[in-house]
Homo-oligomer: A and B are copies of this chain.
Amino acid sequence: MSVPSLRARVRAETAEEIRAIAKRHLATEGANLSLRAVARDAGLVPSALYRYFPSRDALLTALITDAYAALAASAKAAEAAVPRDDLRARFLALSHGVRSWALDHPAEYALIYGSPVPGYAAPPEMVGPASEVAVTLIGIVFDAAGRGLRPTIPTRPLPAATAADLRRLLDKSPGPKPAWAEPAPESVIAIGFTLWTQLFGLVTFEVFGRLDDLIDTRREYFEHQILVMADLAGLDAGPAPGDG
């Protein structure tokens, strides 16, 4: 079992090629992915595809997994390339990372952030990849809170029930707990959710054409709206370089 057999390797290769072809079809044809068409392009008979994916939905699921991973990779790479002190720049980079991947892969983006597919229920192992961007974003607002940055708006008190929801979420998540007491971590998460919603709202509107005939300067508009949210959350540049 040390080295995978030739059969196993060529099998993995074929599966990978099928995924690639399916992604190409998705990009050109749109959401209606035809199993038979990708089989044709793969030089296979339709039923042969069932040796690799038990159903069309399974192939779709594989593409969804890949899409989540690729989106998160784009977003996290952009965010990681920025000095960690500069909270505002980290949020901006993360946002642009999400947006640019989405614009480059609109069909795949629609697959993960568009209408849920009818009978499809996300397998439990998908919640990780699916929430990577949100987790990274929450990490930024947590860092900000840890550094004493405060929202520019007086923090609106959370409804008690929702605060309990968010606290439960915090307790369930791994990693060290926040060390500060003020503001309450729940309200920091709530602000993170605000940014998260706005970020994907902006991207979804742009990718799905809701800005057509309204906004021509897409990138400027996006950046402006993101910066407004950074203002709202009180995300600010860190101390001048050479301070630590």
Q: A127 — nearest CB in chain B belongs to which residue?
A: B213
**Bound complex: CA A32 to CA B166 (Å):** 35
- Looking at A7-15, A40-48, A150-158, the stretch in contact with chain B turns out to be A150-158
Most buried by B among A201, A205, A227: A201
**Residues of chain B lying within 8 A (CB to CB) of residue A208:** 115-116
**Quick check: A215 and B127 within 8 Å, CB to CB?**
no
Partner of A32, one of B118, B198, B202, B224: B118
- Looking at A58-66, A83-91, A93-101, A189-197, the stretch in contact with chain B turns out to be A189-197
**Bound complex: CA A111 to CA B165 (Å):** 30
A200 at the interface (CB under 8 A from B): yes
Q: How many copies does the complex hold?
A: 2
**Quick check: A220 and B118 within 8 Å, CB to CB?**
no
**Residues of chain B lying within 8 A (CB to CB) of residue A214:** 165, 169
**Bound complex: CA A197 to CA B204 (Å):** 9
**Quick check: B193 and A225 within 8 Å, CB to CB?**
yes
A175 at the interface (CB under 8 A from B): no
**Quick check: B197 and A165 within 8 Å, CB to CB?**
no
**Bound complex: CA A164 to CA B215 (Å):** 9
**Quick check: A221 and B110 within 8 Å, CB to CB?**
no
**Bound complex: CA A7 to CA B64 (Å):** 50
**Quick check: B220 and A153 within 8 Å, CB to CB?**
no
A243 at the interface (CB under 8 A from B): no
A240 at the interface (CB under 8 A from B): no
Q: Mark A195-238, 1 if CB is under 8 A from B, else 0.
A: 00110111011001100011111001101110110011000000
Q: Tell me, rounded to whole Å, the shortest Cβ–Cβ distance linking A238 to chain B.
A: 20
**Quick check: A115 and B118 within 8 Å, CB to CB?**
no
Show 18 A/B contacts (Cβ-Cβ < 8 Å), sorted by A.
A29-B118, A30-B119, A32-B118, A110-B115, A110-B116, A114-B115, A116-B208, A116-B209, A152-B152, A152-B153, A158-B224, A161-B220, A162-B220, A164-B217, A165-B221, A194-B228, A197-B205, A197-B225
- A: which residues have CB within 8 A of B? 29-32, 110-111, 114-119, 127, 152-154, 156, 158-159, 161-162, 164-166, 169, 190, 193-194, 197-198, 200-202, 204-205, 208-209, 213-217, 220-221, 223-225, 227-228, 231-232
**New contact pairs (5) apart from A194-B228, A197-B198, A198-B201, CB-CB < 8 Å:** A29-B118, A127-B213, A153-B232, A190-B225, A197-B201
